[in-house]
Amino acid sequence: MQSKPHKTGYPSIILYANIVLKPLHMSREEKTSHFSTDYLGKTIPVQIQRQLRKECFYGCAVCGVPLLKYAHIVPYNRIQALLPENMIALCPQHYYKYDSGDLSESSLREAKKDPHHKLQPQDAFFVESQDLTINIGKCKFINTHRILAVDDFDLITVTRENGKYLLLDVNLFDRMNSLIATISENSWVAGNIAGWCIDYVPQKKHLNIRNVQRNITFEMIMENTELYIDVMMYYNSYPISVTRNEISLNGSEIGIELKNSVLKNYDICIAAYT
């Protein structure tokens, strides 16, 4: 059964090919149930994560990379308390540098006082246009935040905070169906960063996350205030590929009817079922 999607309004269900688009009711709090933890495995409350993200303008306080973990400047075992004034948002690379003793407490205090994006605000991960336009496959979605869900599970969500800063929720599985990386509101929740490369080119808001060994990539880039997303990922051991030309699930192209469309205020861009 097939039907043409409306190009305006707020459609709640679309059928095309054997792919069913339907709403998924998941609150922000449910989405962030994978709380970020510090290096002792202690849960960092979402409210503290948000405060720390905001104070460093949504990027690593040292280098500006927008994927974050949260560290205690004075080690937790010395103060036994989760104090935001003693904590700082760092990218995974600088987080582990500090954890291994390669970054001093004083350098982190300096970074907390003057985080990278405070000194270089144009480097932050943001899109300032009124509408948020995201291109996947050959389809343009405007103000649609849930980008890709499979079997009612959100794999990619992109929202904005404070009107412009980009926030990513991304779940990455390997081909054995193990969840190996979770990004929740830009917090890197995955237990092990080993094997992952994260690159950020601030001029193009180009974020590239890849695990070459496991053939998994997530890439986002801005061109003329619009975002383009390319991914190679898995769900339920099915490969999912999103390029500028097509979206495919297990080797078959999906969303063909949506190609070359501009769709506004949808509930979800692509919802597929395996």
Q: Does 63 bind Zn ion (CB under 5 A)?
A: yes
Which CB contacts under 8 angstroms, 24+ apart, belong to 6-15? 7/261, 7/262, 7/263, 7/264, 8/264, 8/265, 9/265, 10/265, 10/266, 10/267, 11/266, 11/267, 12/267
**How many residues sit close enough to Zn ion to count as binding (CB under 5 A)?**
6
Of 26 and 63, which has the nearer Cβ to Zn ion? 63
Of 92 and 255, nearer to Zn ion (C-beta) is 92
Task: Output 173 or 188, the one with its CB closest to Zn ion.
Answer: 188
Tokens of 49: 């994560």
CB of 138 closer than 8 Å to CB of 259: yes
Q: Which is nearer to Zn ion, 152 or 199 (CB)?
A: 199
Site for Zn ion in 126-185 (CB under 5 A): none
The number of angstroms, rounded, from the C-alpha of 241 to the middle of its chain's C-alpha atoms is: 17
Stated as kind and residue range, the H or E segment containing 97 is: helix 92-99
Tokens of 151: 């079997």
Q: Is 193 in the site for Zn ion (CB under 5 A)?
A: no
Of residues 124 and 270, the one with the C-beta less far from Zn ion:
124
User: Nearer to Zn ion by C-beta: 32 or 93?
Assistant: 93
Q: How far is the CB of 105 from Zn ion (least distance, A)?
A: 16
Instruction: Please report how close the Cβ of residue 198 comes to Zn ion at its closest, in angstroms.
Output: 9
Only one of the segments 7-15, 44-52, 54-62, 266-274 lies at the binding site for Zn ion (rule: CB under 5 A); that segment is 54-62
Token pair 């103060």: residue: 79
CA trace torsion 182, 96, 113, 109 (10° rounding): 150
Amino acid at 193: I
CA angle (197, 127, 190) in 5-degree steps: 30
Rule CB under 5 A: say whether 15 interacts with Zn ion. Answer: no
| Residues 74-133 within binding reach of Zn ion (CB under 5 A) | 91, 94
Looking at residues 64 to 83 of the shown chain, list those that interact with Zn ion (rule: CB under 5 A): 65
**Minimum distance between the CB of residue 137 and Zn ion, rounded to whole angstroms?**
32
- Asked if 218 contacts 170 with a C-beta cutoff of 8 angstroms, the reply is yes
Smallest distance from the beta carbon of 60 to Zn ion, in angstroms? 3
- Site for Zn ion, rule CB under 5 A: 60, 62-63, 65, 91, 94
